[in-house]
């Protein structure tokens, strides 16, 4: 019986937590353990450095999996940046053409007509205007101009 229990814990129980942390960092932070990045799988500074000779460094399949998680995140970030740039170009264009401060509802109406699909809803246009203060400035309640009067 004791042997069976020992078998269950053959894998270090601490490893599961470390693994979750490593996968979280790869998937959401974009950070990989040093042994994934180094040519010879050196674990200096690796979170799993002291776990039975680091299971990460010794498992090629797992290293590839982690690299894949990280690459997916970067791909997603690039897509997100492209989308943000397209949204800014569109809204800047609207404000530039009008050369006037505009209410967000009117900006949203034009934006959704000009580029259907770039924003999910009128409210999402408002949120985008509010959260990109480096580009858009509120001058009255709900009324926006380009920051630094870039008209």
Binding mask 79-108 for Zn ion (x = CB under 5 A): ------------------------------
Interface segment toward Zn ion; rule CB under 5 A; list 34-42, 120-128, 130-138, 139-147: 34-42
Whose CB is nearest to Zn ion? Answer: 46
CB atoms under 10 Å from CB of 67, counted, come to: 14
Token code pair at residue 112: 């959704």
* Separation between Cα atoms, residue 24 and residue 146, nearest integer Å: 38
**Residues of this chain, 35-54, that bind Zn ion according to CB under 5 A:** 35, 43, 46, 48, 54
- Residue entry with tokens 């002291």: 50
* Shortest spacing between CB 62 and Zn ion, in angstroms: 10
Query: In which region does residue 60 sit, left (phi positive, over 0), alpha (psi from -120 to 50) or beta (all else)?
Result: alpha
Question: Hey, which residues does 102 pair with through a beta bridge?
Answer: 144
* Binding status of residue 26 toward Zn ion by CB under 5 A: no
* Separation between Cα atoms, residue 114 and residue 109, nearest integer Å: 9
**Closer to Zn ion by Cβ: residue 34 or 93:** 34
Interface segment toward Zn ion; rule CB under 5 A; list 10-18, 27-35, 61-69, 115-123: 27-35
Interface residue list for Zn ion (CB under 5 A): 33, 35, 43, 46, 48, 54, 56-57
């Amino acid at each position: 019986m004791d042997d069976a229990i020992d078998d269950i814990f053959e894998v270090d129980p601490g490893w599961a937590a470390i693994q979750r942390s490593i996968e979280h960092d790869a998937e959401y932070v974009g950070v990989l353990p040093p042994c994934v990045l180094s040519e010879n799988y050196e674990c200096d500074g690796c979170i799993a450095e002291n776990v039975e000779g680091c299971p990460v460094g010794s498992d090629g399949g797992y290293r590839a999996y982690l690299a894949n998680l990280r690459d997916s995140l970067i791909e997603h970030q690039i897509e997100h940046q492209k989308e943000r740039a397209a949204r800014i170009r569109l809204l800047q264009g609207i404000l530039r053409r009008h050369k006037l401060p505009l209410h967000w509802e009117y900006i949203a109406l034009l934006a959704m007509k000009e580029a259907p699909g770039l924003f999910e809803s009128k409210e999402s246009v408002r949120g985008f205007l509010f959260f990109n203060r480096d580009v858009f400035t509120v001058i009255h309640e709900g009324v926006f101009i380009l920051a630094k009067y870039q008209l």
